[in-house]
Structure 1
């Protein structure tokens, strides 16, 4: 059989597994809250793997190795910033958000939590937050479509649009039928595939080299990839040479984005109890560090592998985001290579499915239910959410037909938008009792506008837009909150209840969360 036939067999097996998980989830999804948040029943392993897989997307296996391959270790500042940000998110946001979102009117989306937390009767906070989610996630989903098309080109030498359509179609199918439970469990499987693939591929590539120790010096003085002027990339292994302080700060600033990513923090809201955030943190950060190390060595080893193997062609010679795919295809039997290559599909599909579902929930839960006065049945809400998933996928696919930016560029734009608009508001909602609706709205709008304006200007070449966006959003949020009316006694009491509940569960992991929540609510 041809290589492509083996690849197709592997991918069909993988996609069937994803659809079967979707069907299994469909059988367990009876209520609207189940479709949107899995009944707050995720165990810490699934939550951690799901958060990691939906976070990293095609960027981990395609965008990051490509950037490291082209530029060098100066791109590692992004990975450092992300690791710190992910740890801080699990440490400070996860347990408090899990307890607070349930106490605050059992909020199942981020916009609904903001509204319930601050008692915003105008509904403006919820609507603006939902609109921001829809705008930025459309770009984010589009980046997944682009990655799917590139994947198909590299693996099969096939048509970009056909690949994009197939990857998007299967993702939409299991998201459509299974909802949040399907998304979370498929993400856990996909995260496991990504983990082992990022270990196996660089290890096998390393042992395939004639002189493996060349990886520590080759790129500094030899031509490879885009460097063809006879001197290589002299600063390849330096994290500070050829990069400004502003660029380092901007790359580290990627970590700030974690606090405001709806598709990540929603996993915290779905945990069984706040206490399980600790175990989730250990699993999630361990997974992340090992995966980032694997992606880094994929890039380093590729500088030697492709230069010393003239017949080994790199499919993507623009951003070099296909090197992981190309290595897997060349190093393994086609069936094994096909199974490894599903890691990229896993990364792409896990993120797309999460984003599709969160965006659909914002359209239905945070816009439709706000403007429609009549209550809708559980079945109607689920069907509307499913229809929304399809519509969003079509819009994102239209944007991805002629991509004008790299995967990393599209992800970076959306990541900064969410981090700037939502990050300060989430942290303040959980840790600053003086926050009010006026401050939250002002900060959210400021973060979104500054992020977009800065990102579309030449200033983005100097400093990543999340830094000014996050900083200005925080300043405006604090100033407006202090200049306007203080929160009511009801809001302050609920804040203290949520804080006490998170502390009680953290100090005693065996305490019954439901009983503790009920007891504290009565006392307040």
Structure 2
């Protein structure tokens, strides 16, 4: 059989596994809360792997290795910032948010939590938050479909449209039938595929080298990739060479974005109890660290791997983002190589499915349920959520038919948009009793607007996350202090949430619903 045939077999195996998980999740989904948040019974391993896989996307397997290959270790600042941010998110937000969402009227989406947290009777906070989510994530979904089409073009030489539709159809199918449980478990499997591939590929490439120790010196003094003048890249191992302080600060600031990413923090709300955040933290951050190391060594080993044999070359000769895929093709039997190539597909689909479900939840839970006078049955709500998944996917597909820089460019600052709009608000919700509705709205809107304006007009100065996060924090604090304090009930719930979180530090086996009722009655 040809290499392409083996690749197709591998892809079919992978797609069938994802659909099987979707069907299994369908059999476990009876209630609306099951569909939206897995009835809050997600175990920490699945939550951690799901959060990581839905976060990293194709950047981890293609963008980061390519950047490190071309520029050197100075590209690691973003990875360091993300690693610190992920740890801080699991440490400071995850347990508190799980406890607080239980106290705050059993909130199941981020906009509903914010509304319940400050007791906003106007519904403005919830509506604005949901509109921000719907707008940015619709374009994110479109970007995932574009990536799927490009993946099939590069891997099989197939048609962009066919590849886009295949990726979109399978992702929509398992999200449609299985909801949050399907998304979480497929993400966990996809995260394990990404992890295994990022460990196996560089290890096998290292073993294939004539002299493995060359990886520590080769790039700085020998030609490779884009360097053909006989001196290599002398600053390859220097993390500060040619990088301004503003660039380092901006790259590290990517970590701030974690506090406000709806598709990540929703995993915290689905944990069985706040105590599981500790286990999730070690699993999630450990997975992320090892994956980043795998991506780093893929680039480092690649500088020698593609230089010692003139008969092999990187397919992408501009950004060199295919070094991971090219290594897999060269080193393994086509079937194994095809399974390795599914790691990139897994990264694309895990992110896209999470975004589809978050947008669907916002449409139904945060907008539809506000306007209807009579709440429909559980079955109707589930079917409406499924319909919303398809509707968002169709819009995303229409935008992806003719991909443009405008669509793909939005993805670049959407992380900053969510981070600045929701990040300061999330931290204040967890740790500041004085937060009120006016301050929450002011901070959220300011963060989104500053990121949008700065990213379009001043992005070359410093990453828009920095001014956006600072401006949102100042607006949130300033407006909260200049306006009336929140109602007494808000302060009581704040204290109840803090106390509930403390309960699980002393005894991890406590039933959270019973503990929440006990805290409220105390």
Fold similarity call, TM over 0.5: yes
Deviation at 1:303, TM superposition (A): 2.1
Structure 1's unaligned 5+ residue stretches are none
SS at match of 1:339: helix
SS at match of 1:391: helix
Can you list the C-alpha shifts for 1:191-225, whole angstroms capped at 9, x where unaligned?
A: 11111111000111112223322222222233333
Residues 468, 296 of structure 1: CA spacing in aligned structure 2 closer, same or farther, 3 A cutoff? same
| Mapping of residues 432-443 of structure 1, within 5 Å | 432-443=432-443
2:140 matches 1:153? no
Name the counterpart of 1:243: 243
Name the counterpart of 2:467: 468
- Cα contact 2:139–2:407 (8 A) shared by 1: no
Residues 221, 402 of structure 1: CA spacing in aligned structure 2 closer, same or farther, 3 A cutoff? farther
Deviation at 1:502, TM superposition (A): 0.3
Residues 378, 331 of structure 1: CA spacing in aligned structure 2 closer, same or farther, 3 A cutoff? same
Residues 394, 322 of structure 1: CA spacing in aligned structure 2 closer, same or farther, 3 A cutoff? farther
- Cα contact 1:434–1:481 (8 A) shared by 2: yes
Structure 1, 337-346 or 35-44: larger mean CA deviation:
337-346
Deviation at 1:400, TM superposition (A): 3.3
Deviation at 1:376, TM superposition (A): 1.9
Deviation at 1:32, TM superposition (A): 1.0
Name the counterpart of 1:279: 279
Deviation at 1:365, TM superposition (A): 0.9
Deviation at 1:411, TM superposition (A): 4.4
CA distance in 1, matches of 2:405, 2:313: 23
TM-score by length of 1: 0.96
Name the counterpart of 2:234: 234
Can you list the C-alpha shifts for 1:130-177, whole angstroms capped at 9, x where unaligned?
A: 011112212322332232223222321222332222112111110011
Residues 362, 54 of structure 1: CA spacing in aligned structure 2 closer, same or farther, 3 A cutoff? same
2:330 matches 1:330? yes
CA distance in 2, matches of 1:381, 1:320: 46
2:184 matches 1:184? yes
- Cα contact 2:420–2:468 (8 A) shared by 1: yes
Name the counterpart of 1:507: 506
Can you list the C-alpha shifts for 1:417-459, whole angstroms capped at 9, x where unaligned?
A: 11000000011011101000100101000100111111112x2
Structure 1, 148-157 or 480-489: larger mean CA deviation:
148-157
Residues 441, 496 of structure 1: CA spacing in aligned structure 2 closer, same or farther, 3 A cutoff? same
- Cα contact 2:36–2:108 (8 A) shared by 1: yes
Residues 135, 86 of structure 1: CA spacing in aligned structure 2 closer, same or farther, 3 A cutoff? same
Name the counterpart of 2:492: 493
Name the counterpart of 2:373: 373
- Cα contact 1:171–1:353 (8 A) shared by 2: yes
2:478 matches 1:484? no
Deviation at 1:408, TM superposition (A): 9.3
CA distance in 2, matches of 1:300, 1:151: 24
- Cα contact 2:144–2:351 (8 A) shared by 1: yes
Deviation at 1:394, TM superposition (A): 2.4
Residues 291, 389 of structure 1: CA spacing in aligned structure 2 closer, same or farther, 3 A cutoff? same
CA distance in 2, matches of 1:371, 1:317: 53
Name the counterpart of 1:203: 203
CA distance in 1, matches of 2:384, 2:317: 42
Structure 1, 188-197 or 374-383: larger mean CA deviation:
374-383
SS at match of 1:461: coil
CA distance in 1, matches of 2:265, 2:416: 16
- Cα contact 1:139–1:414 (8 A) shared by 2: no
- Cα contact 1:64–1:408 (8 A) shared by 2: no
Deviation at 1:464, TM superposition (A): 0.8
Deviation at 1:405, TM superposition (A): 5.1
Can you list the C-alpha shifts for 1:102-125, whole angstroms capped at 9, x where unaligned?
A: 111111000000011111111110
Name the counterpart of 1:141: 141
CA distance in 2, matches of 1:189, 1:408: 27
| Mapping of residues 417-456 of structure 1, within 5 Å | 417-456=417-456
Deviation at 1:10, TM superposition (A): 1.1
SS at match of 2:57: helix
Deviation at 1:22, TM superposition (A): 0.3
Name the counterpart of 2:298: 298
Q: How many residues align?
A: 522
